[in-house]
Amino acid sequence: MKVGKKDIFPSKIICLGRNYSEHAKEMSSDIPKEPVFFCKTTNCLIKNEEYIIYPRLLYENEKLNRVDHEVELAFIIKKRCKHIKSIDYQEYILGYTIFLDITARNMQIEDRGINLPWYRSKNFDTFGPIGPKIVENIKDPHNLKIELKINGAIKQSSNTNSMIFKIPEIIKYLSNYITLNPGDIIATGTPEGVGPIQPGDLLESSIEKIGTLTNRVILEEILES
């Protein structure tokens, strides 16, 4: 897919959970002692100004009809890496962008409650907007204002300096478990303030030095066959 002027072909999307302490607290979770990660699938990906589709099966189910926004700084892998040392991390990064981890929150809570994996709550189509561009050579990715607005109202506002695990630690840790390939997307976690979205909402996800990722939410249309 093309993100701004760059083509990327990710084999996977890896996201960090609970990488901001205030977000961990709002989720009633412990602050992790090492990175917590999970994967999203590439069917989630959409670009700037494309629609987030709110699944009708969630919208019409009172138990499941909460879908949340989670704005994140992401970086793109430049070349294959495995077991790297943190001191070498910058040569493996193509650039930085914005990633929006959309989550079917009530479905996630329900699945956790019955000891099921929460894969499905993270991987609906369009649940991973990315963009608006990939920016190379950000001098300090750990000091960027990060913000999300819904219909002009600020819902999330923080700074990447609040990340628990910084990018050198993240890439070193992940590469011990998983081979990272060119184009892979690594999302570094979301700050506090996550909350629900509704069909019709306009989401503006912004990170200093990168820009603003804009996506509108629409309700899924199901055509009878």
**Does residue 170 belong to any structural domain of this protein?**
yes
Structural domain includes residue 192: yes
- Please report where in the chains the tokens 């919208």 appear, as a residue: 59
> Is position 26 within any domain?
yes
Output the pTM of the full model: 0.96
User: 């994140």: which residue's tokens?
Assistant: 72
Greatest Cα-to-Cα distance within the chain, rounded to the nearest angstrom: 56
Domain residues for the domain of 20 are: 2-219
pLDDT in tens, 95-129: 999 999 999 999 999 998 998 888 999 999 999 99
What CATH number is attached to the domain comprising 94?
Answer: 3.90.850.10
Per-residue pLDDT tens over the stretch 136-171? 989 999 999 999 999 999 999 999 999 999 999 999
Number of domain units in the chain: 1
For residues 64 and 104, the answer to whether their CB atoms sit within 8 Å is yes
